[in-house]
Every structure is written in structure tokens, then in C-alpha cells.
Amino acid sequence: MTLTVPFENAVDLLDADHKAVKTMFIEYNALCEDAAPAATKRAVAEKICRALSVHTQIEEEIFYPAVRKVIGDDGLMDEALAEHAEAKALIAEIQGLKATSANQDALVKKLGKAIDEHVLEEREQIFLQSMQSPLDLRGLAVPLYERKKKLMAAAPKPSKEKA
């Protein structure tokens, strides 16, 4: 059975992740300013890490190789991968922290800043160039969506996440 894919194309699907994660980062910063309990902040941090892990994985498995083949700009794609690697290292560091760690705020903020910069470049360079290329972005939305659903189902749910 095939899933119904609500996204018009791969760019819409991937950027919906960007927007969702941006909202989470703003929420996290707000919690810091409001001196929220560690458990509340931890839940948001874990949610961010989970969303970004799945997002970077589907991009690297499906979207980036397809784009690389079409736009012929290896430098651009290598840079995107390097930024992913930096983000993944930060995610691993955050996931490895104890819930009450004092380092979490600084690491989440650092991750947020890195993601902001990566998203801006991705939108202005990779997305724009792929949209102006012969790449079948509508078709690509299907495997991206299916893979994302599968990975999200398999990802461990944070224990203290609020509904």
C-alpha cells in the first residue's frame, strides 16, 4: 500500500521540517529566558535532536545524491554534508548529556545557530538550483515521505515529552 503524500514536492517536504525545528528552537530559547524546569527543556532538546536526525538522514540518503547528480556542483554539496556532520556531532553531544546538565543550553543554542545558517544556504542555493534543474522534485517527495515515516516510527520517544 502506498502512502498519500501531502507535500507537493521534495522542497516543500524538507522545508516543513526546517520550519518545525525553527519553532522548537524559539521555544527552547523562550524556556531558557523563563528559567523553565530542566525536564521541560530536556524534552524540547530531545525533540529537536530526533527531528533533525531523521531530517538529515533522509536528505543524505535520498535528496542530496539526486541533487548532486543534476546540478553538478560538488563543492556546494560537500559543504552541505560538512554542515550536517557538524550538526550531527552537536546532536550526539546533546543526546549524551544528563537531563540536568548545565551545558545543554549553550549546546542547543549553538546547534540552533548552525541550523539557521545551514537552512539559509540550503534554501538559497540547493533548493533554488534544484527547482531550476530538470530534477523530478514531485517524484522525490514520495520516497522521502515514506522513509521519514519509517524512521520517525523507529526513533526512540523521549520519556518525558509533553503531549
Partner 1 sequence: MKALVYNGPRKVAVENVPDAVVERATDVLVKITSTNICGSDLHMYEGRTDMEAGRILGHENLGVVIEVGAAVDRIKVGDRVCLPFNVGCGFCANCEQGLSGFCLTCNPGMAGAAYGFAGMGPYSGGQAELLRVPYGDYNCLVLPRDSEEKESDYVMLADIFPTGYHATELAGVKPGDSVVIYGAGPVGLMATMSAMLKGASQVFVVDTHKDRLALAEKAGAIAIDDTEDGGVEKIMELTGGQGADRGCECVGYQCCNLHRQEVPNLTMNNLVKTVKATGRIGVVGVFVPEDPNAEDKLEKRGRMAFDFGAFWNKGQSMGTGQANVKAYNRLLSRLIEKDRVKPSWIVSHELPLDKAAEAYENFDQRKKGWTKVVLKPAR
- Chain contacts with partner 1 (rule: CB under 8 A): 11, 15, 18-19, 22, 26, 29-30, 33, 116, 119-120, 123-125, 127-128, 131-132
Please, where are the H alpha helices in 1-159? 10-33, 38-58, 64-71, 74-95, 104-121, 128-131, 137-154
> How far is residue 116's CA from residue 19's CA, in Å, rounded to a whole number?
10
Please state the closest distance from residue 128 (CB atom) to partner 1, in A: 6
Task: Please check whether residue 46 is in contact with residue 104, taking contact to mean a CB–CB distance below 8 angstroms.
Answer: no
CA torsion, ordered 85, 54, 17, 112, to nearest 10 deg: -40
Please state the closest distance from residue 54 (CB atom) to partner 1, in A: 18
Please state the closest distance from residue 89 (CB atom) to partner 1, in A: 23
Residue whose cell numbers read 524556556: 31
Please state the closest distance from residue 9 (CB atom) to partner 1, in A: 10
Whichever of 19 and 162 has its CB closer to partner 1, that residue is 19
